[in-house]
Amino acid sequence: MLKLQKSKIIQLLISVLSVLFCSTSFAKHTILVFGDSLSNSYGIEKKAGWVTLLKNRIKSRNIVAGVINKSISGETSAGGLRRIETILEAIKPTIVILELGANDGLRGLSLDSMYSNLEKIVKLSQSYGAKCLIIGMRIPPNYGAQYTKQFHEIFIKLSSKTDSNIVPFMLEGFELNEDFFLSDLIHPNEKAQKIILETIWEELETLLSF
């Protein structure tokens, strides 16, 4: 009888501990998405954006990770630099998906300043213990061959200099297909979001394994 009672007590304790453990957040990773309108579901429903699709994938695959989106439409590298440290301090992410620079390019801003801002964001993120995934972009050729070439090369250089992972081009595979864009021909529509997710996931999955 005593053995039976002890067995029941042990089972009860295990059950209680299991409930407590499951109800507490022990995320292995906290992913910060830090970008502009391309990561802020511009012109489409939030649930259709690639960041929400990422959250759904992580959940469906039982990956222990949280995703926090701090992207702002219209954000530049300078604006991102002004915001990043407060966010890092509050969130303490283990992975930062950095998707900034497109608005710098579209506004014809200084590429040297853009590189400097992005580099500081990456180094600040790393100082808080986060690994960075840099999302590269391209701008239309009407900005001039030299400027557009140098713009894209910034992301490659940034990845190399900071030892960060990189997705060379966020819109890879559909950038010239108008069917995947809103009427402004700048922002990807809902149909494009799944492609963006797959492009980013290929590199992000590597970081999630650490």
pLDDT in tens, 162-209: 999 999 999 999 999 999 999 999 999 999 999 999 999 999 999 998
Assessment of whether the complete model's pTM goes beyond 0.75: yes
Nearest to 150 by CA among 108, 208, 119: 108
Q: Give me the catalytic one of 29, 36, 37, 104.
A: 37
Averaged pLDDT, 88-108:
98
Q: Is 39 a catalytic residue?
A: no
* pLDDT exceeds cutoff 50 at 21: no
Q: Give me the catalytic one of 23, 60, 179, 184.
A: 184
Paired residues of 134 in beta bridges: 98, 166
* pLDDT exceeds cutoff 60 at 39: yes
* pLDDT exceeds cutoff 60 at 8: no
Q: How far apart are CA 193 and CA 74, in angstroms?
A: 19
What are the respective helix, strand and coil percentages of the chain, to the nearest 5?
55, 15, 30
Q: Is 37 a catalytic residue?
A: yes
Nearest to 197 by CA among 29, 27, 33, 30: 33
Q: How far apart are CA 114 and CA 99, in angstroms?
A: 12
Q: Is 152 a catalytic residue?
A: no
B/e letters for 161-190, b = 16+ CB within 10 Å, e = fewer, are ebebebbbebbeebeeeeebbeeeeebbee
Max CA-CA distance within the chain? 86
Please report the pLDDT score of residue 6 as a whole number: 53
* pLDDT exceeds cutoff 90 at 210: no
Domains for the chain: give ranges and CATH numbers. 25-208 (3.40.50.1110)
- When pLDDT is cut at 50, 70 and 90, the band that residue 24 belongs to is very low
Percent of the chain with pLDDT over 70: 87
Element at 133 (helix H, strand E): strand 131-135
**Tokens, residue 162:** 């900071």
Q: How far apart are CA 149 and CA 172, in angstroms?
A: 16
